[in-house]
Amino acid sequence: MQWHQKLGEKLLISPLARYHLQSAADFYAPVFNGTLVDPDGVNAALQSDGSLLFEGDAGFPGDGTAFAVPAWPRYYSADYRLSHLETWTFGVALRWQVHEHVAIDLAYKRYLMNGLDGVTLSSAYPQANVFTMGIGFQW
């Protein structure tokens, strides 16, 4: 959602807010651990330090918090951008019409990304402050 509001004849201010929610791609997993000997994959559990425990390892939880790690799917990716996540963007843009044919644009956006799958490490999801500036010419 973005609102364009004129302030006088030469200035335009445009605040914005955006929300995005997506489910995980069916070929996404945070890690893949399979071999041709074990083509069905294994069960794993995420530890607090970010490492994985595999079924059969000492300390593997029996409380249902484990997840399946696919072995050799036809298509696969561990790219966090394909996980179950939400993003928020907030910002504001200014456009100043300096001359009939020249405008200056300034913008700031705050970008937040949160994982929702409970498996991908939260440190994988970036947050950013984005500043842009431009000069536009129209003839």
Cα–Cα distance measured from residue 47 to residue 60, given in angstroms and rounded to the nearest whole number? 10
Task: Give the pLDDT score at 92.
Answer: 98
Written as tens digits, the pLDDT of the chain (139 aa) is: 999 999 999 999 999 999 999 999 988 888 766 544 455 667 777 777 767 777 778 877 777 677 666 555 566 788 999 999 999 999 999 999 999 999 999 999 999 999 999 889 899 999 999 999 999 998 8
| Residue 5, pLDDT score | 97
pLDDT confidence of residue 116: 95
Model pTM above 0.95: no
State residue 48's pLDDT score.
73
Spatial CB neighbours of 115, under 8 Å, sequence gap ≥ 6: 80, 83, 84, 85, 121, 122, 124, 125
Q: Which residue has the tokens 């791609």?
A: 25
Closest-CA residue to 31 (of 84, 77, 85)? 77
